[in-house]
Amino acid sequence: MSANLPPLRPAADLARDLTVRAVSSHIVDVPTVRRHKLSSLSVSAQSYVIVRVRLDNGVEGIGEAATLGGPRWSEECVESIKATLDAHLAPALIGARADQFERAGALLDAAAKRNNAAKGALESALFDAVGRTLGVPAAALLGGTVRERIPVLWTLASGDAGQEIEEAGQKLAARLHDTFKVKIGAQAPEADLARLRRLAVALEGRARLIVDANQAWDETIANRCLPELAEIGVRLVEQPVPAWNLAGLARVRARSAVPLLADECVFSPHDMLAVAHAGAADAVSLKLVKHGGLLGTRKVAAVAEAAGIGLYGGCLLESSIGAAAHLQVFAGLRELAWGCEHFGPQILTDDLVTEPLHYADCHVHLPSGPGLGVTLDEDKLRRYARA
């Protein structure tokens, strides 16, 4: 039987094959099908940095860093991400082993503080390249999967209740989504509550609602609005108060009948530990751009799990590249009670891969190929690349 197995390659040969030889980055801007409005910004095109890592064996891996509206969601924007990648992070990886993921992370941390989105894109490309070399999905390099598909919601963020009711109805009819996250905070609380009441009545019995205030409220407003959200039937409220006000978030949670989701207040495992100690959240939104990559996301998830805090797969409107990287992590989490929101590829007028992610029956499916499981479309990259 052993005679049928391929001969083992010398470790030195494999090490050479998996050595990082080149790194490149490209900014792309892809229009969205409609304006996506948050409490402090709105976008009609989504910007990404696409990272390409080439190994000594000729295999190339891809990764993606997404931002929303420039540096207004976090301190990173695509321009700063590309500059940091090209000048500091990429040189730190040249000559390093792509499969030594923790060591690569240490090299990146030594080269630049934070810059989590940039590091996450590079680490995704490393997992993609190594997975392609070995012929296995990135999830296998993280310990394997416990699910092949994940419940996925759709975000309603135009601010127009009539348009949102129609949009939600289309998603329900197509069996693409039956849970909707409503972006609030850009209008006065009374206007947001009126909009939510209209949505709840129109979708009653057909869909579930959660809301995201994107840090727009103070404690007083949160305490006034949360009982009404509970009455409306909202299942989860994301980051109602500013990220810095962790004590305030804990006080709001103590009075709230609706579970609270922590987002902008959790970037690192240390942040997650602080939220757990404060008793400030019922669930946490996991994002590679916040946690610095696949390994960082697993670490934040582990702290949350240890504290009994639920897991939710957050997004920043990633294309199929960034969404696929997230799914490789989410597929291996034992518990993902709140599902995910990786609808990003569907809100773009075009995607950046040859075969976009598959959505059906209100789930997004884990791609089956090696690495991240998606392949960059070179024509699309050229079409949307920023001059």
Residues 6+ apart with CB under 8 A from 171: 154, 177, 178, 180
Cα separation, 155 vs 138, in Å, equals: 27
Q: What is the DSSP letter of 155?
A: E
Q: Is 8 exposed, middle or buried (0-12, 13-18, 19+ CB in 10 A)?
A: exposed
CA 131 and chain centroid, separation: 20
Annotated active-site residue in 64, 167, 264, 341: 341
**Got the DSSP string for 283-314?**
EEEE-HHHHTSHHHHHHHHHHHHHTT-EEEE-
Asked if 60 is an active-site residue, the reply is no
CB 47 within 8 Å of CB 29:
yes
Cα separation, 129 vs 98, in Å, equals: 8
* Token pair in block for residue 314: 């957050």
Stretch (H or E) spanning 261: strand 260-262
Annotated active-site residue in 181, 183, 287, 290: 183
Asked if 341 is an active-site residue, the reply is yes
For residue 33, give Cα distances in angstroms to 30, 174, 346, 358: 10, 17, 9, 18
* Token pair in block for residue 253: 């949670």
Cα separation, 342 vs 357, in Å, equals: 10
**Helix spans in the chain (H):** 11-17, 78-84, 90-93, 101-111, 116-134, 138-141, 161-173, 189-203, 219-232, 246-255, 269-278, 288-291, 294-306, 320-330, 344-347, 378-384
Cα separation, 122 vs 129, in Å, equals: 11
Cα separation, 162 vs 231, in Å, equals: 21
What residues act catalytically? Answer: 183, 341
